[in-house]
Copies of this chain bind each other. A is one copy, B any other.
Amino acid sequence: MGGGRTRRMPRAERERQMLDAAVEIIARHGYTAASMDEIAELAGVSKPLVYLYLNSKDDLFTACIRREAAALTEAVRAAVRPNLPADRQLWDGVQAFFTYTAEHPDGWTVLHLQARTHGPRFAAEADAMRAEMTAFVTRLIATAALESPHSRDLSTREIEGLAAALIGAVESLADWTNTTPTATAAQASATLMNFAWSGLGNLMSGNRWAPPGAASAARP
């Protein structure tokens, strides 16, 4: 990249390069070990310019988390059409989720792991996104339950637990896809639906799992 072209680059574009570099370095080394020198070098700018644009390492991290959360949330939102059946909405949503996280593995690492473990300020940013995803899934499960005569007795607490389980399954499958060389977003989506929605479908049909010899114990 020539010096002349570098100087003419608009601020938004320059900032995007800094965030790209920061996400990559933070995902690779962890936030604490990530060095502003390395981030500046990867972005092709001077370290003082990073501080001029983003103010501090903490502010840079916050900007990374916000950008990645907004992009992932927007990818899912754009894929889901609220007028379709609940399982179709979930299918479209998880496909978009796994496609996005597979294409942005460093962004996913920053959001899922780094943001949650370096103090409440950063955790709050990631929690907001996770809460939005959980609310989306909770609403889908509640909608499906209302439509089934066998599952109207699912308690709010139980639906919240099921949503927490589903979100955890999605997060773990995103990690699995990103660390298993031949796994794909399409496979992760199919596995999630086979695992989760079939289980929920059983539940909606009134078929609860029960431990042997204690037929009611699996009912919270």
Contacts and interface: CB of A to CB of B under 8 A. Distances in A.
A195 B187 contact: no
A180 B220 CA distance: 15
Q: Bin the interface of chain A by size.
A: 35 or more
Nearest to A167: B172
Nearest to A168: B172
Specify which of A161, A197, A212 lies most central, judged by the most chain B CB atoms within 10 Å of its CB. A161
B119 A195 contact: no
A175 B131 CA distance: 13
* Identical chains bound together, number: 2
Nearest to A109: B117
A85 B212 contact: yes
Given A161-B188, A164-B175, A169-B168, A202 B208 contact: no
A20 B146 CA distance: 46
Contact of A202 (B173, B182, B202, B219): B202
A50 interface: no
Interface stretch (A6-14, A27-35, A74-82): A27-35
Interface of A: 29-33, 85, 87-88, 91, 113-114, 116-119, 157-158, 160-162, 164-173, 175-176, 180, 182-184, 186-203, 207-209, 211-212, 217-220
Given A85-B212, A91-B218, A198-B208, 5 more contacts: A161-B187, A168-B173, A191-B220, A193-B211, A198-B207
